[in-house]
Chains A and B, each alone.
Chain A
């Protein structure tokens, strides 16, 4: 089945710094790719998604581009805020037409004022 690897954290940044969280995947076919965010004490929320190669998902200032050539879906934000402190998960379906999502190990982001 498909798999996903994301960079280990924690990532600690100052407010207004540039953020990149790396995510690479292995997959048969071209599954949709997702980024989820988990704020302290809460469940996971979908942050953004991309459904085909070269698609760019974006939300709340975050962006990620579906790169087929490098099998990557890196999460970026130009200027982070303290409120972005959370754990970020990269995810994709287990296989073609699979309803099961598999998640990366999560990357904790801490933004300092």
Chain B
């Protein structure tokens, strides 16, 4: 398996623009997570899906952020409008939903909002 695939790897956008980050989880995994990593806050869980259904979005910072999982092999995280404080590395991770299994991470999308 190719692992968790995220695109793009790098994104530079202007403040106010819409940004869409994409993720393809590992085939057969039924849990998907979006994390944000910054120097100030470390690794934060934004949202997690189980069987394509959002279970917990309490980590989504505000209404400008939205996430979807239309099917088992694809998820998006959208920021509209983007702001400079959204600059971070965004990771997608997937796992087989079991209490003692690990999550597998993608390589991340480095987002810079100028």
Residues of A that sit less than 8 Å from B by CB: 31-32, 34, 36, 42-46, 49, 51, 89, 93, 96-103, 105-106
Contact = CB atoms under 8 A, between A and B. Distances in A.
B42 A32 contact: no
A105 B44 CA distance: 10
Nearest to B45: A100
Nearest to B108: A43
Interface of B: 4, 31, 33, 42-43, 45, 48, 50, 55-56, 91, 93, 95, 97-100, 102-108
Contacts, number: 54
A106 B42 contact: yes
A34 B103 CA distance: 10
Contact of A99 (B43, B95, B107, B108): B95
A99 B100 contact: no
A54 to B, nearest CB: 15
Contact of B97 (A34, A44, A99): A99
Given A89-B43, A100-B45, A43 B100 contact: no
Contacts of A49: 100, 102
B33 A44 contact: no
